[in-house]
Amino acid sequence: MKSTRPFRYFNSSPEIIRLVVMMYVRFPLSLLNVENLLAQRGIDICHETVRHWWNRFGPLFAADVRR
């Protein structure tokens, strides 16, 4: 059974998670580049968190785009 609220166990807002995943997928950036860009904007997220979110939410966002 799929969860209707995929972001419920995360402390970060869904908007931040979507921004991070889309930055990584849309632009040719490494995980560390995404981490540094977010740090410049005052968002403190580790590059491993970016990787985890990409693995977890990438397919979810791709399905939304395909629809």
Per-residue pLDDT reduced to its tens digit, 22-56: 999 899 999 999 999 999 999 999 999 999 999 99
What is this structure's pTM?
A: 0.81
Asked whether 55 and 67 are in contact (CB, 8 A), the reply is no
Query: Distance between CA atoms of 28 and 33, rounded to whole angstroms?
Result: 9
What 3-state class would DSSP assign to 49?
helix
DSSP 7: T
Indicate the pLDDT class of residue 1, thresholds 50, 70 and 90: very low
Question: 38-55: b or e for each residue (b if 16 or more CB lie within 10 Å)?
Answer: beeeeeebebebbeebbe
